[in-house]
């Protein structure tokens, strides 16, 4: 599928992006001819370059052969059209994991979220459209906050989904599709690294409300969803994984364990929901199931496929309040992903400090 293809990953230095790159390099979707990482943070690129070349330290020679390797690094900004056009000029497949994703930050700097999450997506579509680029597939990474959005982050991601959907009408030779999922376990800025740090510092562990719930998705399952979308999505579709949800208080109690660390309720942050949805009531009539995933058909009738008629699951309720995990199940999930052992806390704190 990706054998001898030129692949571009925007946001490839993030938690999701790095695992995506690692698995792309493993060849499970075929070995790319070139894998270009695009981001504007030279420090993150430097540390990622050292990590993937298995170097502890390096001098300038690590840059000299950048464009002779399969894994290449490119300083660029998805918010800048000319930068995007240059980065994808010979791409076959583009993954967009670049995002402004912190809910409070987006509330305080909404236009910055617009530039990254909306303008950035449009820049990819525009570059393909206006330059007749031979990009075959674009996969955008969305979020549960785009479903019935109440915050800036979700609103911008919801519009991003529509931008990619509409682009299929302009670029007949390019397939645009998205994935949408909830909190990725231990990704940068998520609740688990925060709890790790608070526990390591002796507490308190802060939660927003007693009843707040969230979907929890292992990082590998997030990449699985991207690959499933790459393999099976039709133009304009959104792939949604089936993932468990948990009460955040229960999550905190499992992580605190038998220690005497206080759990403190601090209230909902600006723009935050108490519960999340991955498929809305309005979307349910155009949602189907395929290969173990929910698939939301595009809103534009020109793009809707016959699958909808054959496998309608109208009325599906995909809300984080449904079928909550028990504390035992939460513990098993965290243990399976190496997020409860004492050394994991130290490792996550070290990674956070380095980033």
Write out the catalytic residue numbers: 145
- Residues 6 or more apart whose CB falls under 8 angstroms from that of 176 comprise 125, 137, 138, 140, 164, 165, 167, 168, 235, 236
* Phi, psi for 274 (deg, rounded to 5): -80, -35
Contact (Cβ atoms closer than 8 angstroms) between residue 121 and residue 178: no
Q: Could you give the angle at the alpha carbon of 19 between the alpha carbons of 76 and 118, nearest 5°?
A: 45
- Distance between CA atoms of residues 16 and 192, nearest Å: 15
- The DSSP annotation for 85-128 comes to HHHTTT-SEEEE------HHHHHHSHHHHIIIIIIHHHHHHHHH
Q: What is the DSSP letter of 170?
A: H
- Distance between CA atoms of residues 339 and 298, nearest Å: 36
CA 301, chain centre distance (Å): 27
């Amino acid at each position: 599928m990706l054998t001898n293809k030129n692949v571009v990953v925007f946001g490839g230095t993030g938690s999701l992006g790095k695992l995506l790159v690692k698995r792309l390099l493993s060849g499970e979707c075929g070995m790319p001819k070139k894998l270009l990482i695009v981001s504007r943070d030279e420090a993150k690129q430097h540390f990622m370059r050292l990590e993937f070349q298995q170097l502890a330290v390096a001098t300038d020679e690590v840059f000299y052969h950048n464009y002779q390797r399969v894994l290449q690094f490119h300083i660029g900004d998805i918010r800048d059209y000319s930068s995007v056009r240059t980065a994808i000029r010979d791409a076959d497949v583009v993954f967009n994991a670049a995002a402004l994703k912190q809910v409070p930050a987006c509330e305080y700097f909404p236009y910055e979220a617009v530039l990254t999450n909306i303008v950035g997506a449009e820049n990819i579509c525009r570059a393909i459209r206006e330059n007749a680029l031979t990009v075959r597939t674009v996969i955008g990474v969305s979020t549960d906050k785009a479903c019935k959005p109440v915050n800036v982050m979700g609103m911008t991601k919801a519009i991003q989904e529509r931008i990619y959907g509409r682009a299929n009408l302009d670029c007949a030779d390019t397939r645009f599709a998205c994935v949408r999922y909830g909190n990725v376990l231990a990704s940068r800025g998520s609740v688990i690294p925060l709890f790790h740090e608070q526990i390591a510092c002796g507490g308190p562990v802060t939660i927003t409300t007693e009843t707040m719930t969230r979907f929890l998705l292992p990082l590998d399952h997030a990449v699985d969803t991207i690959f499933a979308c790459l393999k099976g999505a039709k133009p304009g579709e959104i792939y949604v994984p089936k993932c468990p949800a948990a009460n955040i208080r229960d999550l905190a109690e499992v992580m605190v364990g038998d220690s005497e660390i206080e759990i403190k309720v601090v209230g909902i942050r600006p723009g935050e929901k108490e519960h999340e949805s991955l498929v809305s009531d309005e979307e349910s009539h155009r949602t189907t199931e395929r290969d173990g995933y929910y698939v939301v058909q595009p809103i534009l009738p020109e793009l809707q496929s016959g699958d909808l008629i054959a496998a309608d699951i109208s009325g599906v309720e995909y809300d984080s309040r449904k079928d909550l995990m028990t504390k035992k199940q939460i513990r098993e999930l965290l243990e399976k992903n190496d997020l409860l052992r004492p050394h994991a806390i130290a490792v996550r704190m070290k990674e956070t400090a380095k980033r």
